[in-house]
Structure 1
């Protein structure tokens, strides 16, 4: 049996790891999952019942990112020595270890704007797997050896397998359609250089003024807010999004998930994002904004218009396993 390492660093990556772990068992591939101490990641793996080993922690300052990363590399070496390859989103720590052991690396990526990790990881990779909606020139500065694309988005891997269950939101005391989900921005990521805390606060006020309960899913402890429902331990975010009136995020993943399910979603990430345009052209209820007044208008508009039908896209799981098989058998 082929054994591959997946180092899950975010809840989105934990979902990808979970799908590949389950699918891999049917394909003769064991996906060995590691993570770090970062809000909602281990919780998400536990929700899926995925065995995992949590190694190290997330650094906020540049010094912490460096030192904690070095500590993680030493611990990950003991895991990576037992696998045949690595697959996953850019993890500088795991990539350095796998490369040092002379094993192949398959990188999954849809965020060309994440310059720091991309510069560290993509040049070490054998193959980059990315959505076709992201033009190949967006990756050129990172010097990928080979790019394989698919007609879809990574989030489709789990939204296409989703089964609604209202008991999840009812157990939180929420009424379907009576709340709006907020996912704050990636404020402490190395690439994030904006301050959108005030914009987020004002959007929360607007949602509450419109009569909705606000459910906040913070990325960091300093994003916990007063007057809202704060979820600091992971629940199934897909259930939460599906039964909401809408989703607002400073990133992309939760907006993409919601829009794939037909739930209106708003992203205030301040840079252009190829996948948003791709999904919007296919009829996904996905809205973008960058300043307070535009965001307020978009929030009111999406809540007024409401839901749409779910999208049908290519599931990248097959492509990922084909690429992994190819690099391991070389």
Structure 2
């Protein structure tokens, strides 16, 4: 059995780790899953029944990011001695440790705009696995040794295995179709350099004006909103999205998940995101906006659209496990 370290740093990565742990067991791959103290992260792993070890915490400022990262590396070094390599999204801490131990790195990535972690991790990787929708030139500044692509998005790994359960949202006191899920922007990430506070305020005001219950899923404690339903402990976001009237996100993952379920979604991430165009071209109900004025009209269009037929894409799970095994054998 090949044992690989997966350092899950976000809820999205936790879902990927859960799928790979379950599917890898029958293909000769065992995952040692680590995480850090970050809102909803450990909750998602526990929700999936995934065994994991939480190591260290998330730093907000640059000094904290540096010091907490160094602390994590010391603790990860002990864990990494017992694995054969790394299979993970970019984790500077895990990558530094595995590279230092002379073990191979298989990196999954769909965010070329995350410059800081990409510069630290991708040059050390043996192979980068990415959606084909991200153009090759987007990765060149990070000097990957080898890039393998697939015709889909990582979110399809768990969306394709999803089964709806209305009881999940009813236990929260929510009625299907009468609420909108709201996910604030990734304000404290190293790459996030925009001020989206004005856009966020406009969208929240519009949703309230239209009479929707707003279910806020904050990334950080300072993103709690008065007068709405704030979810500070993780629930199954897929169930939440599936039974909603729509999903609005300052990032990409929850909007992508909703669109893959056929639920209309709006992302107000200010940067360029290749996968949005890819999904829209394949019929996913995914909308984009970058300023307060266009966001108000995009929200109106999104809510009028309603549910659509979900697109079918390539599930990258078999490819990921195959590439991971190949990297270890070389």
What is the TM-score of this pair, normalised by structure 2?
0.99
Q: Which residue of 1 aligns with 2:179?
A: 179
Rounded to whole Å, the distance in 1 between the matches of 2:121 and 2:305 is 41
Measured in 2, the distance between the counterparts of 1:76 and 1:318 equals: 27
Q: Distance in 1 between matches of 2:187 and 2:174?
A: 28
Structure 2 residues not aligned, in runs of 5+: none
1:160-213 CA deviation, whole Å, 9 max, x = no partner?
000000000000000000000000000000000111122112211100110100
Q: For the residues of structure 1 that align with 2:6 and 2:20, how far apart are their CA atoms?
A: 9
Structure 2: distance between partners of 1:211 and 1:224: 20
1:58-207 map, 5 Å: 58-207=58-207
Counterpart CA distance in 1 for 2:301 and 2:147 is 38
Distance 2:271 2:91 in 1: 23
Q: Assess if the C-alpha contact under 8 Å between 2:3 and 2:84 holds in 1.
A: yes
Residue 310 (structure 1) aligns with: 310
1:27 CA displacement: 1.1
SS of the residue 1:299 aligns to: helix
User: 8 Å contact 2:29–2:325 — kept in the other structure?
Assistant: no
Q: CA deviation at 1:126?
A: 0.2
Between Structure 1 and Structure 2, how many residues are aligned? Answer: 330
**Counterpart of 1:45 in 2: which secondary structure?**
helix
Unaligned runs of 5+ in 1: none
**Moved >2 Å (runs of 4+):** none
Residue 208 of structure 1 is matched in structure 2 by 208
How much has 1:25 moved relative to structure 2?
A: 1.1
Correspondence for 1:57 = 57
SS state at 2:290 partner: coil
1:11 aligns with 2:11: yes
Please, which moves more after superposition, 216-225 or 25-34?
25-34
SS of equivalent to 2:21: helix
- Between the aligned partners of 1:241 and 1:97, the Cα distance in structure 2 is 37
Give the distance between the partners of 1:202 and 1:290, measured in 2 at CA.
Answer: 12
SS across alignment from 1:54: strand
RMSD (Å) for aligned C-alpha atoms: 0.5
Secondary structure of 1:310's counterpart equals: coil
Of stretches 153-162 and 21-30 in structure 1, the one that deviates more from structure 2 is 21-30
1:24 counterpart SS class: helix
> Could you say which residue in structure 1 is the equivalent of 2:26?
26
Aligned to 1:287: 287
TM-score in terms of structure 1 length: 0.99
Q: What secondary structure does 1:56 align onto?
A: strand
Secondary structure class of the residue paired with 2:307? coil
How big is the shift at 1:272? Answer: 1.3
